[in-house]
Amino acid sequence: MIHQFDAVIVGAGGAGLRAALEIPEGYSCAVLTKVYPTRSHTGTAQGGVCAALGNEEEDSWEYHFFDTVKGSDFLGDQDAIEIMCYDAIRAIIELEHMGMPFSRNEKGLIAQRPFGGHTKPKDPNNPFGERVPVKRACFSADRTGHVMLQTLYENCIKKGVQFFPEFFVTDLIVQDNIIRGVVAIEIATGEIHIFHAKTVMFATGGYGRVFRITSNAVVGTGDGFAIVYRRGIPLEDMEFVQFHPTGLWRLGILVSEAARGEGGVLRNKHGERFMERYAPTIKDLAPRDVISRAMYTEIREGRGIQGPDGTYYLLLDLTHLGPEIINKKLPEITGFARIYLGVDPLKEPIPVVPTTHYAMGGIPTNVDAEVVIDDKGTKIEGFYAAGEVACVSVHGANRLGTNSLLDIIVFGRRGGKKMAEYIKERDFAPLPKDADEWTRKTVERLLNSNGKERVSRIRTELQEIMMDKVSVFRTEEGIKEAIEKIKELKERYKEVKIDDKGKRFNTDLIEAIELGNLLDTAEAIAYSALNRTESRGAHYREDYPKRDDQNWLKHTLIYKNEDKEPIIKYKPVVITKIPPMERKY
Amino acid sequence: MSFRYYGSRKSGSISWLLQRITGIFLIFAMVGHYILMHYSPETGHSYEQSVARFSNAYWKMFYLTFITLGLWHGLNGVWSILRDFKMKPWLAITLYGIIVVSGIAFWVLGVSTALHF
Amino acid sequence: MKVTFRIFRFNPETDEKPYYKDYEVNADPKDRVVDVLHYIKNEIDGTLTFRRSCLHGICGSDGMRINGKNMLACSILLQDLGYTDRDKTYKKPIVVEPLPGMPIIKDLVTDFTDFWKKYEAVKPYLITKTPPPERERLQSPEDVELIMEASKCILCACCTTSCPSTWSNDNYLGPAALLKAYRFIFDSRDEATDERLDIIDTPDGVWRCHTIFHCVQACPKEINITWHISQLKKKLVEREI
């Protein structure tokens, strides 16, 4: 079946929904999503979305800008970061006007709380001097992402946006650097649809499921990354994968940084507040990469606590906060601890380990969410990306907590506005013949395969090797081992067989296609990580433990090269105001 | 697959409230009925004793209220239960009609009996 | 421990009638029901079909009926169902069925079309008539507290499909949609209270709630939905008098 829409948005999380709100009346817009919009992963964000509103104390967007640049380990593009931090204030007010129920302070203003890496100078006259934590994260208890997703979806209902829920996008139709549409499988019927479009936005979210322990939803399989990568579009900075320090032990379920923002502390087996050693000034509110490394170091040096299954964890202590703060401001995460670990955070500390959380890298875009495929600014006309799948890059080598919710509403909107301009000016580019060929062949192959491999087996092996070799601490040897394994798994993937041969709601088939996406995404991550011989932000190479601005102050662009090794190119970092300096907390 | 929004009727709030108020009245009336008619034999069930009660102005007022509220509560309750099922409009109208007609009929019967003595 | 999962299966493509299939599995009391479903799908029978996403009770995908009660498969451990002994072989199976009262697409996957139509019928978005101020609209912490519990709703449909009033009359808006109506009627910023009250003041609206409390029992986010619906009834009565 062939549909025609002026704009097609893939993904109905925060970025996709925000972009859809910008498509003007009189133009058709379809939002495709592989789950129902309200199931999108944006809803799991807990702690907050930051903007220098200054509702609780004096603050400035320029402090926010500085923190984000420093948090990114100077790899973030400063022009984009400036736009995001400046626009944050307007964006939050806009969300409030849309109906988002924020927690409030006594004055009736949006309440704010401290968050990791968000600081302001102790002395305003010395902006580069010592810095102290600042209350900058706007929140709604610990359900900020949930109410944001709901609010954006509600506004899409109000506007009458057309949704295609449970449509799984498998391919991008692009020719001569002009976008022509996407191919999708309607999960309920198994039918393959072609969406012929003037513009396409990818807002498909992250790839956390490449790793074994992750806070990401099962649907976070890197589909957007893999689809564009297969179509010859590069991926930027894929080596930078954020590990969140506090995932529930064994499960990886996120315990928000808000827990530490409200005063929670991390302790090792001796009960020591170990972050005092690693980040003497801001301690437990240091950025995520710093804390995750500190936690791994603690465990390696024997100060972790061993669980009955032999794995180690550390403790997040909230017991001193009291029921008022825990029940009012952190109700969700206390619920998680109770349900999944049987731990009452009021009385005992919560067992936590670092968990795969966020993709800093992704589809390279400019500040208007237009996809740019090289260092010269060459665009794919009509193609946009926003949210976690995109790399603007505002997060550089490490994202600060609360900046992801901000990223999606700022760049989702900017992308939507550009799409609106584009569809007014341009006509439909013709569809190529057999636009759905790849999808049809893949589906046929998977349905008819008589191989011996199981999807779950390959997936588990991939997740294990990536977690062991390409996570918080990396070495050349380990990454090479992972790459060999990925190659082997890709070979075995060709022999994969599925049980469900039907058309109707065939999740067995969908999972098999998703596995292909996971493998391609893992390849891009591993090769990028092998290539960058320095340590920066979330990418830590034990064999190259120092940051190397001389050689590596640049973005990686990785291109797929059929069955050979991917090609790696580079793009300069945009530095406007803050020169790289030592990153200490 | 069949949900249809039929538009507002601004219908329910008063009858919902009345159902509760009459319910409370009926609880008291029922308790009174049990005490008077079943647990205190001296009240009497004979024809003469009943006629005597009907001739009393206070009892008359009580019976008239009781008939009105009891009938209303009961039939509104029946209608409300029927409403829990999805009905075709013709069926709903028919049943509603039966309820209204029988309500009026019983009310007239009750009131005329009470006023007869 | 050894335990049997008795799972409702129905693929309209191939099956004439629904049936239950038993799967014997080795599980841990600390496993979630969804972990076992994943295990069955991964290792035993890839045709088993269910929805899931976040796996920690916030996306609302995996509402299903487990041992007769509506709940999220990711928010319930086997030990919470009474299967606590690691070394025991349990005879009593864990019965997993789709949410009741909804058309079945396949196995545990149900058709949410009506559920979303009801959600949309209550105008689930803030309506304001006065132009917005330059900064945020002010709301006291107490104002927000009024709608905080309602805004927890994850639209998993556990409540609506557990409500007997919905079973007998599928035109009833149901607890989830009414909770959403509450969320906006009691939002101090909303300026369409009258219009909203009109929407729910219908025979198929708020008056089909007979305070049965099934919704409260079923809600995985522990929202006291019946209380919220009662507030709506009170508000309607107040308006009328």
To test the contact with chain C by mutation, choose from A102, A457, A507, A511 the residue with the greatest count of C C-beta atoms within 10 A, namely: A507
Q: Do residues C97 and C134 both lie within one domain?
A: no
User: Does the residue A126 lie in any domain?
Assistant: no
Q: What is the pLDDT of residues B48-104, one digit of tens each?
A: 888 888 888 888 998 899 999 999 999 999 999 998 888 888 998 999 999 999 999
Show which of C81, C109, C137 is a domain's final residue. Answer: C109
A311 annotated as ligand-binding: no
Closest by CA to A227, choosing from A169, A166, A165, is: A169
Instruction: Indicate the residue of A109, A146, A456 with minimum beta-carbon distance to C136.
Output: A109
Farthest CA pair distance, chain A: 71
C87: domain CATH number?
3.10.20.30
Residues of chain B contacting C, Cβ within 8 Å: 1-14, 16-17, 80, 83-86
Main-chain dihedrals φ then ψ at residue A14, nearest 5 degrees: -55, -45
Q: What CATH fold (topology level) applies to the domain B12-116?
A: 3 helical TM bundles of succinate and fumarate reductases (1.20.1300)
User: Does the residue A332 lie in any domain?
Assistant: yes
CA C237 to chain centroid? 28
- In this prediction, residue C150 carries a pLDDT of 97
Beta bridge partners of A312: A306
Q: Do residues C132 and C190 both lie within one domain?
A: yes
Torsion over CA of C94, C100, C106 and C108, rounded to 10 degrees?
Answer: -30
Q: Do residues C178 and C101 both lie within one domain?
A: no
Q: Do residues C104 and C120 both lie within one domain?
A: no
Contact A142, A333 (CB under 8 A): yes
CA A517 to chain centroid? 16
A323: domain CATH number?
3.90.700.10
A41 annotated as ligand-binding: yes
- In this prediction, residue B10 carries a pLDDT of 67
**Residue A141 to residue C148, Cβ atoms within 8 A:** yes
**Residue C111 to residue B1, Cβ atoms within 8 A:** yes
C209, two tokens: 């709630």
Give how many domains chain A has, as a whole number: 1
**Contacting residues of A for C143, CB less than 8 Å apart:** 104, 108
Write down the H helix ranges in A14-58: 14-20
Reduced to 3 states (helix: H, G, I; strand: E, B; else coil), residue A236 is strand
- In this prediction, residue B116 carries a pLDDT of 83
A496 annotated as ligand-binding: no
Question: Which domain, by its residues, includes A267?
Answer: 243-355
Cβ atoms within 10 A of the Cβ of B74, count?
15
Say which amino acid occupies B36.
L
Q: Do residues C36 and C136 both lie within one domain?
A: no
Closest by CA to C9, choosing from C19, C1, C17, is: C19
Interface check C141 vs A, CB under 8 A: yes
Q: Do residues C174 and C57 both lie within one domain?
A: no
- In this prediction, residue C215 carries a pLDDT of 97
Low-confidence residues in chain A, pLDDT < 50: none
Q: What is the pLDDT of residues B7-58, one digit of tens each?
A: 666 667 888 999 999 999 999 988 988 888 888 877 777 888 888 888 888 8
Q: What is the pLDDT of residues C82-104, one digit of tens each?
A: 999 999 999 999 999 999 999 99
**What's the rounded Cα separation, in Å, for the pair A542 and A278?**
17
Instruction: Indicate the residue of C52, C125, C141 with minimum beta-carbon distance to A158.
Output: C125
- In this prediction, residue B4 carries a pLDDT of 77
Instruction: Indicate the residue of C103, C204, C208 with minimum beta-carbon distance to B1.
Output: C103
Tell whether the torsion through CA atoms of A158, A160, A161 and A167 is positive or negative. Answer: positive
Reduced to 3 states (helix: H, G, I; strand: E, B; else coil), residue A448 is helix
Label the pairing between strands A379-385 and A192-202.
Answer: parallel
Question: Are there at least 3 beta-carbon pairs closer than 8 Å between C and A?
Answer: yes
Q: Do residues C121 and C98 both lie within one domain?
A: no
- In this prediction, residue C28 carries a pLDDT of 93
Q: With b meaning 16 or more CB within 10 Å and e meaning fewer, what string describes A154-174?
A: bbbbbeebebbbbbbbbbbbb
Reported ipTM: 0.97
Active site residues of A: 288
Q: Do residues C71 and C183 both lie within one domain?
A: no
Question: What DSSP element (H or E) covers C19?
Answer: strand C19-26
Residues 118-177 of C with CB under 8 A from B: 118, 121, 165, 168-171
Reduced to 3 states (helix: H, G, I; strand: E, B; else coil), residue A65 is helix
**What's the rounded Cα separation, in Å, for the pair A372 and A415?**
13
Interface check C87 vs B, CB under 8 A: no
Beta bridge partners of A7: A29, A199
Interface check C19 vs A, CB under 8 A: no
**Contacting residues of C for A146, CB less than 8 Å apart:** 58, 152, 154
Interface check A455 vs C, CB under 8 A: yes
Contact A266, A566 (CB under 8 A): no
Give how many domains chain C has, as a whole number: 2
Q: Do residues C117 and C38 both lie within one domain?
A: no
Question: Which domain, by its residues, includes C151?
Answer: 113-240
The answer to whether the peptide bond before residue A72 is cis (omega within 30 degrees of 0) is: no
Interface check C46 vs A, CB under 8 A: yes
Q: What is the pLDDT of residues C31-80, one digit of tens each?
A: 999 999 999 999 999 999 999 999 999 999 999 999 999 999 999 999 99
C146: domain CATH number?
1.10.1060.10
**What's the rounded Cα separation, in Å, for the pair C187 and A38?**
21
- Domain range summary for chain B, segments of one domain joined by +: 12-116
- In this prediction, residue A300 carries a pLDDT of 93
A436, two tokens: 């759905």
Average pLDDT, chain A: 95
Closest by CA to A145, choosing from A61, A254, A249, is: A254
Q: Is the pLDDT of residue B1 over 60?
A: no
- Which residues have CB under 8 Å from B41's CB, separation 6+? none
- The full DSSP string for A163-179 is EEETEEEEEEEEETTEE
Burial of B44 (0-12, 13-18, 19+ CB in 10 A): middle
Total residues found in chain C within this entry: 241
